[in-house]
A and B are shown apart, each in its own frame.
Chain A
Amino acid sequence: MSVQKSWSELQTMARACRIVVEALDVLEAAAVPGVSTKEMDRIAREHIERAGARPAFLGYRGYPATLCISVNEEVVHGIPGPRKLREGDIVGLDLGCIVDGFFGDAARTVAVGRAGEQAQRLMRVTRESLLAGIDACRPGKRVGDIGHAVQTHAEGQGYSVVREFVGHGIGTSLHEEPQVPNYGPPGRRERLVPGMCLAIEPMVNVGGAEVEVLADGWTAITRDRSLSAHFELSVAVTPFGPWILSEPYPYEQAEAANA
């Protein structure tokens, strides 16, 4: 079981997650044709450091950058470089930071200019799958219920779900127990309890679920080179339901009514 966080620890996690999501807003606006992925990385790092946080990915298991940027058929873990974004690309932006020893982690896939219809639909379905997974983050549910919700939504729309990479517990390290797969039967795996923090992150492909990792040791691409999208949010399990940590605490009223 993962570590349960105290209320004040959750506040710190929320600060880290807010910084990440604000940086993603800036990056989304900056993703225009002609900008290099290296430049996107610079923007990400600048935003995080100006907010008084530290990049979480830089140096993690030897990862060489602040941002993971995965274009089109790249699934996750794309390394920033000289590649320039082009009109119609879809770009996965995955970012993490550390505030007072606690990690925040989030990702989204955005279109450069105008993306095709299939790409837009893929991004919408992946985001909906993430929200379906988050909705399962309630005490008494289990980790398998999250993956089941994600999988049924994505596959119900004709897409496939990546198996080789999974969501994870998050807290004083980037990856904590438990692992959170985006597939599998409901009612299995660890029981969810208040105070658990999970990074839920469906990776959804237009074609097959299979991925391969390039020779750089990081960049994962779809084996059939079909488009892939990735959305991620860090979520705390509370007695009232899920709290997306980058958003305001949503249960003030429920708590007052309970008191």
Chain B
Amino acid sequence: MPEAASRPRTGATEPLEVEGTVREALPNALFRVELAAGTRTAVTAHVAGESSLLRLRPGDAVVVEIAPYDAGRGRIVRRR
């Protein structure tokens, strides 16, 4: 009787959305964002699409998507 094949454990899955606060504006429209949850305290993040996000300033509250394969980088998807 064949066994159902298990899905590979590695590889990209859905990005994880976490809340954070902008700490520092970096060159090239990158921002250092401090995360509210989890053990890692900060990621460098670029903004997703919306030009209103380009005017983010330190202290702004945002939501960041983090890809599972590089937890040090993220993508700011919206303000909160």
Q: Is B5 an interface residue (CB 8 A)?
A: yes
- Contact between chains at A167 and B5 (CB < 8 Å): no
Q: Size band of the A side of the interface?
A: 20 to 34
Q: Could you tell me which A residues sit within 8 Å of B by CB distance?
A: 56-57, 60, 63, 68, 76-77, 94, 96, 105, 107, 163-168, 174-175, 179, 181, 201, 203, 230, 232
The residue among B1, B3, B4, B5 with the most chain A CB atoms within 10 A of its own CB is: B1
Q: How many pairs, one residue from A and one from B, have CB atoms within 8 Å of each other in the complex?
A: 39
- Contact between chains at A175 and B5 (CB < 8 Å): no
A190 to chain B, nearest CB (A): 14
A57–B5 Cα gap in the complex (Å)? 18
Contacts of A166 in B (CB 8 A): 2-5
Contact with A along B1-18 (1 / 0, CB 8 A): 111111000000000000
A210 to chain B, nearest CB (A): 13
Nearest 4 A/B pairs, CB to CB: A165-B2, A168-B3, A175-B3, A166-B5
- Grouping DSSP codes into helix (H, G, I), strand (E, B) and loop, the B interface class, with mixed when no group exceeds half, is loop
User: Which of A68, A165, A201, A230 is within 8 Å of B4, CB to CB?
Assistant: A165
User: Which of A68, A164, A179, A181 is within 8 Å of B1, CB to CB?
Assistant: A68
Q: Could you tell me which B residues sit within 8 Å of A by CB distance?
A: 1-6
| Residue of B with least CB distance to A63 | B1
A168–B16 Cα gap in the complex (Å)? 34
| Residue of B with least CB distance to A232 | B2
A76–B2 Cα gap in the complex (Å)? 8
- Contact between chains at B5 and A174 (CB < 8 Å): no
A56–B1 Cα gap in the complex (Å)? 10
A77–B1 Cα gap in the complex (Å)? 7
A60–B3 Cα gap in the complex (Å)? 12
| Residue of B with least CB distance to A180 | B3
A167–B1 Cα gap in the complex (Å)? 8
Known: A60-B1, A77-B1, A94-B1. 9 other contacts (CB 8 A): A56-B1, A105-B1, A163-B5, A164-B4, A165-B2, A167-B3, A168-B2, A179-B3, A232-B2
Contacts of A96 in B (CB 8 A): 1
A150 to chain B, nearest CB (A): 13
12 contacts across the A-B interface (CB closer than 8 A)? A56-B1, A68-B1, A76-B1, A107-B1, A165-B2, A167-B2, A168-B3, A175-B3, A179-B3, A181-B5, A203-B2, A232-B2
